[in-house]
C-alpha cells in the first residue's frame, strides 16, 4: 500500500513539537489569474477620444471583491486577491491595455472552481460595461492550480499517535486550517497522506518569521525532533503494515 507523509518546518509553535490536523482540509486549494483588458488608446487631455481600459479594469477589481463577500457561504472560507495592476508608466496617455492579476483560494474543489468561473465572468462582463474587451488566463497549462491539502483520517491518526509517544501529549497541537497551499496536495489526492508541521518558534533566536520571509531562520534544536518524528512515523507504519 502506498502512503505519503510530509513534514514542514513552521515557526507557529512556542515549543518545537509536531502538530497537524485531520478530517478537514489543512491547506487551501490555490490558483492564479491574469486578465488583459484592452480597448482604444488616447491622450489624457481628450479622454472622450479613447475607450479607457483603466476605468474598466478598476471597476472589475471592485466587482471581484463581491464574489466572496456576497456570493460565498460565510462558513466556507474563500479568498480572491488582486495583487497586480499595470497600465504602463506614461502619465499623459490613456493606455490601450491594462493587465491585472492575482490569486484565489478555497478549501473545497467545488468552491474553488466556482471562484474560477465567477472571476472570469466578472472580469469579462464588467469590462464590457465600459466598452472594453478582456481575456482571463488561469495558467492551467502550466499546472499552477493546486488542490486543497486534505489529510487522510487514518494517516493523521497514525502521525498523532507516534508524535504523542515521542514528545508527549502536551507537545502535540492541532493547528487551524490555513489559506496557504502545497504541491503535496497532488499526492494526497492519489494516495492516503498526512501533512504535519514541526514547530520551530524561538523568539530568542528570532525564529518567528514564516518560510516566505527573507528573515526566516530555523531553530536548529528542532531538527533532531523533526528527524526522529519522520523516521518513527515511517518505521512504525511499515512495522504495522507488513
Q: What pTM, to 2 d.p., does this model score?
A: 0.83
Res 213 pLDDT > 90: no
d(CA 11, CA 19): 11
For the chain, percent of residues with pLDDT exceeding 70: 90
Q: What angle do CA 132, 134, 136 make, to 5 degrees?
A: 160
For the chain, percent of residues with pLDDT exceeding 90: 56
Q: Each residue of 102-155: pLDDT tens digit?
A: 999 999 999 999 999 999 999 999 999 999 999 999 998 887 899 999 999 899
| pLDDT computed for residue 116 by the predictor | 97
pLDDT band for 51, please (50, 70, 90 cuts). Answer: confident
Nearest partner of 149 among 120, 118, 187, judged by Cα? 187
- What is the sign of the dihedral through the CA atoms of 187, 6, 29 and 98? negative
Lowest mean pLDDT among 74-78, 87-91, 174-178: 174-178
Lowest mean pLDDT among 2-16, 175-189, 194-208: 2-16
Q: Tell me the domains of the chain and their CATH numbers.
A: 4-27+148-240 (3.40.630.10), 29-142 (3.30.70.360)
Mean pLDDT of 193-201: 88
| pLDDT computed for residue 43 by the predictor | 75
Res 3 pLDDT > 60: no
d(CA 34, CA 120): 10
pLDDT band for 11, please (50, 70, 90 cuts). Answer: low
d(CA 222, CA 229): 11
| pLDDT computed for residue 14 by the predictor | 41
Range with the largest mean pLDDT of 23-27, 46-50, 177-181: 177-181
The three cell numbers of residue 48 are 472622450
Amino acid at each position: 500500500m502506498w502512503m505519503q507523509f510530509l513534514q514542514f518546518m513552521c515557526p507557529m509553535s512556542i515549543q518545537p513539537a509536531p502538530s497537524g490536523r485531520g478530517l478537514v482540509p489543512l491547506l487551501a486549494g490555490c490558483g492564479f489569474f491574469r486578465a488583459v483588458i484592452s480597448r482604444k488608446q488616447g491622450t489624457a487631455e481628450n479622454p472622450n477620444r479613447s475607450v479607457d481600459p483603466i476605468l474598466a479594469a478598476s471597476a472589475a477589481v471592485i466587482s471581484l471583491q463581491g464574489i466572496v463577500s456576497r456570493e460565498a457561504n460565510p462558513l466556507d472560507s474563500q479568498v480572491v486577491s488582486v495583487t497586480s495592476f499595470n497600465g504602463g508608466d506614461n502619465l499623459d496617455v490613456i493606455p490601450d491595455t491594462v493587465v491585472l492579476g492575482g490569486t484565489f483560494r478555497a478549501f473545497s474543489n467545488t468552491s474553488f472552481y466556482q471562484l474560477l468561473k465567477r472571476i472570469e465572468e466578472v472580469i469579462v462582463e464588467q469590462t464590457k460595461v465600459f466598452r472594453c474587451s478582456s481575456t482571463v488566463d488561469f495558467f492551467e497549462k502550466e499546472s499552477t492550480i493546486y488542490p486543497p491539502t486534505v489529510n487522510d483520517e487514518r494517516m493523521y491518526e497514525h502521525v498523532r499517535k507516534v508524535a504523542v509517544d515521542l514528545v508527549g501529549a502536551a507537545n502535540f497541537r492541532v493547528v487551524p486550517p490555513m489559506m496557504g497551499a502545497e504541491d503535496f496536495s497532488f499526492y494526497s489526492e492519489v494516495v492516503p497522506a498526512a501533512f504535519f508541521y514541526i514547530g520551530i518558534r524561538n523568539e530568542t533566536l528570532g525564529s518567528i518569521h514564516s518560510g516566505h520571509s527573507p528573515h526566516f531562520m530555523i531553530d536548529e534544536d528542532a531538527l533532531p525532533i523533526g528527524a526522529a518524528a519522520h523516521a518513527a512515523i515511517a518505521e512504525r507504519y511499515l512495522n504495522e503494515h507488513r
